[in-house]
């Protein structure tokens, strides 16, 4: 038996709470008798929901308070959608476990229309993501892409309120929250390339907490780790934030890893896309190499137009 009890810092959104409960359940199943409790917190990202994520200051807004709680010893671990975690972690923090990935694809959600291709001209599609907006506009320049913020439940409520004809969300979040039947179309990744790390839940903790690392080991998935090593290295070279319309998705099969990535102008008029393959033990280098290639192929100009130095 352990005398130590673990505290999981988590945001209060239904998706964040689901993920934290999931990790708690996995920890308790792997280590019967271990005490685990949730410490729900509000983050700057949650308080600034009126603004677009890009103008408000990016994905770090959702994780900083949780990291401070861990660094101050008020919490032991935090559970994140890895999509929301900046590539650079604060000193002293590490990723203690990356869970097996769920569906990485984006979802087309609509009450009246069965797929993106069925939307009438001029239909209003909600998304706050530059990445989704860029790819949507390239696929369907006739649509009106409008901002949509809030947690998953809020976004669905805005759709039901007829503020949009359709919205785009991640399949993984909808599946986790029991909303799978609301998905009308799961976009092939070749059509709507997902965000870096979409669909992967990760655990962040202090790097020096060896006991916790041992407890987390049974939760870790090596395929997710490989995938994220390539995708996050790719993203890091391209500015590493969600102010940038960057997408990337890696898959490993045996000893081979394949990474597809893109950088797009927000208006969808330009998308620079590429693909790279190589040995899994060079995952990070492959991500970096693909980023360099896209920068040479025009991504550098797109990013410079957005004020991002690369
Ligand atoms: N930015 C919010 C966010 N962060 C992670 C997910 C989905 C779950 C995941 O990708 O693991 C979502 C919602 C969405 O984009 O629909």
pLDDT the model gives residue 310:
83
174 lines ligand 1 (CB under 6 A): no
Q: Residue 59: is its pLDDT beyond 60? A: no
Q: What is the pLDDT of residues 118-173, one digit of tens each?
A: 999 999 999 989 999 999 999 999 999 999 999 999 999 999 999 999 999 999 99
* Coil, strand or helix at 200: coil
Mean local confidence (pLDDT), 43-53: 61
In degrees and rounded to multiples of 5, residue 77 shows phi and psi of -150, 160
Q: How far is CA 178 from CA 18, 25, 194, 240, in A?
A: 10, 17, 21, 31
Choice from 81, 152, 201 to test ligand 1 binding pocket (greatest atom count within 8 A of CB): 81
Q: Is ligand 1 within 6 A of the CB of residue 170?
A: yes
Q: What's the number of CA atoms in the CB half-sphere (13 Å) around residue 168? A: 27
- What is the C-alpha end-to-end distance of the chain, expressed in Å? 51
pLDDT digits (tens, 9 = 90+) for 218-266: 999 999 999 999 999 999 999 866 567 899 999 999 999 999 999 999 8
Residue 47: which pLDDT band, with cuts at 50, 70 and 90? low
Residue with the smallest CA separation from ligand 1 atom 9 is 199
CA atoms within 13 A on the CB side of 122: 0
The confidence score (pLDDT) of residue 49 equals: 56
| DSSP state, residue 100 | P
253 alpha carbon – ligand 1 mean position (Å): 25
Distance CA 23, CA 44 (A): 23
Q: Is the pLDDT of residue 296 over 90?
A: yes
- Closest atom of ligand 1 to 104 CA is 10
The ipTM, to two decimals, is 0.96
> Average model confidence (pLDDT) for the chain?
93
User: What are the structure tokens assigned to 74, written together?
Assistant: 């008020």
pTM: 0.93
Instruction: Return the percent helix, strand and coil in the chain, to nearest 5.
Output: 40, 25, 35
- Buried-exposed string 226-260: b where 16+ CB fall within 10 A, e elsewhere: bbbbbbbbbbbbbbbbbbbbbbbbbbbeeeebebb
Atom from ligand 1 closest to the CA of residue 84: 4
Q: Which two tokens stand for residue 59?
A: 């994905």
Percent of the chain with pLDDT over 90: 83
Full set of structural domains in the chain with CATH:
5-99+200-220 (3.40.190.10), 106-186 (3.40.190.10), 232-305 (3.30.160.40)
**For residue 240, how far is the Cα from the chain centroid?**
12
Which of 83, 153, 169, 183 is the best mutation target for the ligand 1 pocket, counting ligand atoms within 8 Å of the beta carbon and taking the most? 83
Strand 5-11 vs strand 35-41: parallel, antiparallel, or unpaired? parallel
What atom of ligand 1 comes closest to residue 170's alpha carbon?
A: 16
Q: What is the pLDDT of residue 244?
A: 77
Rounded distance between C-alpha atoms, residue 280 and residue 258, angstroms = 9
Contacts of 55 (CB under 8 A, 6+ apart): none
Least confident of 2-6, 109-113, 189-193, 197-201: 2-6
DSSP assignment of 186-198 equals E--TTTSPPPTTT
- Residue 241 and residue 130 in contact, taking contact as beta carbons nearer than 8 Å: no
What counts of helices (H) and strands (E) characterise the chain?
11, 13
Strand-pair partners of 309: none
Residue 84 falls in the annotated catalytic set: yes
């Amino acid at each position: 038996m352990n005398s130590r009890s673990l505290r999981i810092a988590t945001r209060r959104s239904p998706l964040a709470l689901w993920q934290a409960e999931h990790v708690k359940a996995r920890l308790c199943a792997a280590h019967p008798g271990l005490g685990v409790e949730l410490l729900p917190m509000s983050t700057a990202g949650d308080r600034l929901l009126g603004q677009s994520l890009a103008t408000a200051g990016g994905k770090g807004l959702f994780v900083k308070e949780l990291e401070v709680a861990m660094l101050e010893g008020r919490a032991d671990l935090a559970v994140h959608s890895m999509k929301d975690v900046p590539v650079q972690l604060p000193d002293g923090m590490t990723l203690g476990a990356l869970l097996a990935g769920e569906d990485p694809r984006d979802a087309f959600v609509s009450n009246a229309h069965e797929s993106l291709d069925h939307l009438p001209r001029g239909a209003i599609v909600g998304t706050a993501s530059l990445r989704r907006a860029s790819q949507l506009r390239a696929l369907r320049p006739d649509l009106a892409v409008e901002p949509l913020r809030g947690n998953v439940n809020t976004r669905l409520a805005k759709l039901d309120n007829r503020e949009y004809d359709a919205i785009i969300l991640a399949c993984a979040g909808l599946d986790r929250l029991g909303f799978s039947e609301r998905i009308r179309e799961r976009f092939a990744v070749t059509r709507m390339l997902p965000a870096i790390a979409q669909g992967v839940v990760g655990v962040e903790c202090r790097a020096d907490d060896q006991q916790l690392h041992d407890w987390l080991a049974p939760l870790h998935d090596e395929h997710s780790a490989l995938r994220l090593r390539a995708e996050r290295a790719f993203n890091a070279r391209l500015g590493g934030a969600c102010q940038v319309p960057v997408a990337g998705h890696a898959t490993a099969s045996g000893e081979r890893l394949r990474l597809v990535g893109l950088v797009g102008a927000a208006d969808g008029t330009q998308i620079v896309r590429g693909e790279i393959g190589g040995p899994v033990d060079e995952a990070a280098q492959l991500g970096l190499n693909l980023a360099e290639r896209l920068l040479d192929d025009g991504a550098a100009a797109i990013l410079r137009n957005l004020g991002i130095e690369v």
